[in-house]
């Protein structure tokens, strides 16, 4: 009972922040993103009587290895809970060995959870013989979502994707906007020098409505994901740039005005915001967006990608950059890691 899946992280243009329902993880609006070709997790799951407990090991591209423990944090706990859920669904008791290999450095502050969670759910369900759930992308995305992450559910489809707004578990699922060959967008992630440990997104979603601006964000979002979707379909860079930057700033304003306040942006992030504005004035097509961390995602086109990479690496806050193109979503593959 062994299977392997690969799955990318993604960068959201219209972000998911705050929930309609904390148990079912229902987002407050449609949220869309692009998969990232150089932020991929490949995960093998085996259920066997040879194992006396569940183990999850993560291996980074720099060969750093980490043995996860349930107590490491809520996202990690969710991974262990997913293994338990699979056992309950299939009514067996076998424990699992999980190994996940990343094609980017581990613990560098790069959000690996979307890649890790979606790959583990796909490999786990496939290994347990629930392949009908893995083949059906909508269903797989629902399973990924309730395993702990709406953003991870966006990684299930290929290329440019969205998780649609809905009122019930069944109504919230991934759908493709366009495949990975549709548009030559590039996301250069500038990994900045690490800062103090951040607040988890799970906690952030739960306190989002303590911000007086959250209600305004939800009202603002009415019709916005559809405009972003249209901009992607029409390859309208300027519209996507405007919508995405507004969305990212708007989300961080909510985070900073929650109780307790959550600050993900750092001095380095601010430096990048200023620089992106300058680069645009030089005629370069580029915009910034930030997830729950200080690292700027610099979205550009293949024409400008190498200039942006070079410029990003020249900024003193940058440790290194990761060059990403749109790519396929979650896939079952035949090469097992063990
Ligand atoms: O899915 P989560 O709980 O990891 O939340 C992701 C939240 C953001 O990365 C900040 C936004 C997004 O839509 O990716």
**Chain segment 115-171, per-residue pLDDT in tens:** 999 999 999 999 999 999 999 999 999 999 999 899 999 999 999 999 999 999 999
Ligand 1: does its nearest atom lie under 6 Å from the Cβ of 150? yes
Structure confidence at residue 94 as a pLDDT band (50, 70, 90): very high
Nearest protein Cα to ligand 1, atom 6 = 151
Ligand 1: does its nearest atom lie under 6 Å from the Cβ of 12? yes
CB 216 within 8 A of CB 204: no
Q: Please give the full DSSP string across 181-241, using - where no structure is assigned.
A: TS--EEEEEEEEPP-SPPPPHHHHHHHGGGSTTHHHHHHHTTTHHHHHHHHHHTT-HHHHH
| DSSP class of 295 | P
Per the model's pLDDT, the better-predicted residue between 75 and 236 turns out to be: 236
Distance CA 308, CA 288 (A): 11
Of all atoms in ligand 1, which is nearest to the CA of residue 152? 1
Per the model's pLDDT, the better-predicted residue between 136 and 62 turns out to be: 136
Ligand 1: does its nearest atom lie under 6 Å from the Cβ of 146? no
Ligand 1: does its nearest atom lie under 6 Å from the Cβ of 97? no
Q: Does position 205 have pLDDT exceeding 90, yes or no? A: yes
Structure confidence at residue 195 as a pLDDT band (50, 70, 90): low
Alpha helices in 48-178 (DSSP H): 74-90, 113-127, 131-135, 137-146, 150-153
Q: Is 70 helix (H, G, I), strand (E, B) or coil?
A: helix
Nearest protein Cα to ligand 1, atom 9 = 291
Q: What is the pLDDT of residue 64?
A: 83
Cα 205 to averaged position of ligand 1 atoms, centre (Å): 9
Cα 264 to averaged position of ligand 1 atoms, centre (Å): 12
What are the distances in angstroms from CA 179 to CA 91, 118, 266, 267? 37, 18, 34, 36
Of all atoms in ligand 1, which is nearest to the CA of residue 10? 14
Structure confidence at residue 320 as a pLDDT band (50, 70, 90): very high
Lowest mean pLDDT among 61-70, 84-93, 136-145, 288-297: 61-70
Ligand 1: does its nearest atom lie under 6 Å from the Cβ of 6? no
Nearest protein Cα to ligand 1, atom 2 = 149
- Cα–Cα nearest to 192, from 103, 321, 287: 321
Q: Hey, which of 74, 149, 150, 253 would you mutate to test ligand 1's pocket, going by the most ligand atoms within 8 Å of its Cβ?
A: 150
Of all atoms in ligand 1, which is nearest to the CA of residue 251? 10
Specify the pTM: 0.95
Report residue 134 as tokens.
Answer: 């893995």
Q: Does position 109 have pLDDT exceeding 70, yes or no? A: no
Of all atoms in ligand 1, which is nearest to the CA of residue 16? 13
Q: What is the pLDDT of residue 111?
A: 64
Ligand 1: does its nearest atom lie under 6 Å from the Cβ of 265? no
Q: Return contacts of 194-202, CB within 8 angstroms, 24+ apart.
A: 194/108, 194/109, 195/266, 195/294, 198/264, 198/292, 198/293, 199/260, 199/262, 199/264, 200/73, 200/74, 200/75, 201/292, 202/74, 202/75, 202/148
Distance CA 34, CA 295 (A): 17
């Amino acid at each position: 009972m062994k299977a392997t899946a690969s799955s990318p992280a993604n960068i959201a243009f219209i972000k998911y922040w705050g929930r309609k329902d904390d148990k079912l993880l229902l987002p407050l609006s449609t949220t869309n993103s692009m998969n990232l070709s150089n932020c991929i997790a490949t995960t093998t799951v085996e259920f066997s009587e040879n194992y006396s407990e569940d183990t999850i090991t993560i291996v980074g591209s720099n060969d750093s290895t980490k043995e996860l423990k349930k107590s490491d944090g809520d996202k990690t706990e969710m991974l262990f809970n997913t293994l338990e859920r699979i056992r309950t669904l299939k009514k067996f008791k076998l424990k699992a060995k999980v190994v996940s290999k990343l094609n980017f450095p581990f613990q560098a502050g790069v959000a690996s959870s979307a890649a890790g969670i979606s790959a583990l759910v796909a490999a786990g369900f496939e290994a347990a013989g629930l392949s009908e759930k893995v083949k059906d992308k909508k269903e797989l995305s629902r399973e990924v979502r309730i395993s702990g992450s709406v953003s991870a559910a966006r990684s299930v489809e290929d290329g440019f994707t969205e998780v649609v707004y809905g009122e019930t578990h069944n109504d919230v699922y991934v759908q493709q906007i366009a495949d990975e060959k549709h548009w030559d967008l590039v996301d250069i992630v500038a990994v900045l020098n690490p800062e103090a440990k951040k607040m988890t997104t799970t906690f952030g979603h739960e306190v989002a409505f303590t911000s007086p601006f959250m209600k305004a964000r939800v009202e603002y979002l009415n019709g916005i994901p559809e405009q972003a979707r249209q901009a992607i379909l029409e390859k309208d860079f300027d519209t996507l740039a405007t919508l995405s930057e507004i969305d990212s700033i708007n989300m961080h304003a909510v985070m900073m005005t929650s109780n307790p306040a959550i600050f993900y942006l750092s001095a380095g992030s601010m430096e990048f915001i200023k620089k992106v504005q300058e680069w645009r004035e030089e005629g370069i097509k580029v915009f910034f967006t930030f997830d729950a961390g200080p690292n700027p995602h610099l979205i550009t086109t293949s024409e400008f990608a190498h200039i942006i990479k070079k410029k990003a690496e020249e900024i003193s806050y940058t440790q290194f950059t990761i060059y990403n193109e749109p790519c396929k979503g979650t896939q079952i593959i035949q090469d097992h890691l063990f």
